[in-house]
């Protein structure tokens, strides 16, 4: 009602603004997912190395310290550094993840309704477009949640590996030193979206169920 976008050069201006805004939005989304994947895989690799150190805590290894106390101190120090790195990653990505989760959830809710609407109208072009968009948004949320799930599961395996080694062969009461590391692993830091939603596969399932529930509500109100 303000301007007639069908006329030139207003049509070209609006088309350019739309392309530019789409490029910015999708670049931010791609950058956020790439950063989350790189940082998560870095933490995952460091946790894998830490598990190898824990496995050789009792008997030692050629490239590790000869003293059990020194090996244990090195393992604990490395574990603390990894948890601190995961905390920094969560602080850096929690706002971006929050916007991505909420935005994709709302878009999936409306896209599901548009898919059913276009199916009833027999407009296959719009129908295929909405289905592709819905699938793309689903994968965006799945990538973030799967990354968080990998980091959380690997942190828990540190406690399992600490218990599965031959800790009973440690001299004196040194085996008790592993209790604290096991306790920290069971309550380890997780990647979150805005410090409200935990990035995990269960969160992904909740998002999908929410979009389907909202779709059913819209169908009930419009029929």
Confirm if 189 and 90 have CB atoms less than 8 A apart: yes
For residue 6, tell me if it sits in a domain.
no
**What was the pLDDT predicted at 26?**
80
Q: How many helices (H) and strands (E) does the chain have?
A: 5, 2
- This prediction has a pTM of 0.78
Q: Per the domain annotation, does 83 fall within a domain?
A: yes
Query: What is the torsional sign of CA 128, 131, 136, 137?
Result: positive
**Enclosing domain of residue 143:** 39-222
Are 80 and 186 a contacting pair, CB within 8 Å?
A: no
Q: Is residue 133 assigned to a domain?
A: yes
Domain membership of residue 72 (yes or no) is: yes
Number of domains in the chain: 1
Both tokens of residue 164? 């599965």
Q: Is 77 within a domain?
A: yes
Token pair listed for 76: 């604990």
**Cβ-count burial of 190 within 10 angstroms (0-12 exposed, 13-18 middle, 19+ buried)?**
middle
Which pLDDT score, from 0 to 100, does residue 20 have? 92
User: pLDDT per position in the chain (223 positions), as tens?
Assistant: 677 777 778 888 888 988 998 888 888 878 877 888 888 889 889 988 888 888 877 777 666 677 777 888 888 888 889 889 988 888 888 888 888 888 888 888 888 777 777 777 776 777 788 888 888 888 888 888 888 888 888 888 888 888 887 777 777 677 777 777 788 887 767 888 878 888 888 888 888 888 778 777 777 776 6
Predicted pLDDT of residue 223: 65
């Amino acid at each position: 009602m303000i301007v007639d976008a069908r006329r030139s050069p207003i049509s070209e201006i609006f088309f350019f603004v739309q392309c530019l805004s789409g490029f910015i939005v999708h670049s931010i989304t791609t950058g956020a997912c790439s950063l989350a994947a790189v940082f998560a895989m870095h933490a995952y690799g460091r946790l894998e190395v830490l598990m190898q150190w824990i496995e050789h805590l009792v008997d030692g290894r050629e490239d590790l310290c000869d003293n059990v106390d020194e090996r244990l101190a090195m393992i604990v120090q490395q574990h603390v550094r990894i948890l601190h790195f995961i905390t920094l990653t969560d602080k850096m990505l929690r706002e971006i993840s929050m916007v991505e989760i909420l935005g994709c959830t709302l878009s999936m809710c409306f896209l599901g309704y548009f898919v059913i609407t276009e199916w009833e109208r027999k407009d296959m072009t719009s129908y295929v477009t909405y289905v592709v968009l819905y699938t793309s948004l689903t994968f965006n949320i799945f990538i973030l949640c799967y990354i968080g799930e990998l980091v959380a599961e690997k942190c828990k395996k540190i406690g399992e590996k600490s218990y599965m080694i031959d800790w009973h062969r440690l001299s004196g009461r040194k085996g008790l030193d592993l209790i604290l590391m096991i306790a920290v692993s069971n309550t380890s830091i997780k990647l979150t979206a805005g410090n409200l939603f935990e990035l995990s596969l269960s969160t992904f399932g909740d998002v999908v169920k929410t979009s389907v529930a909202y779709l059913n509500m819209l169908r009930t109100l419009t029929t």
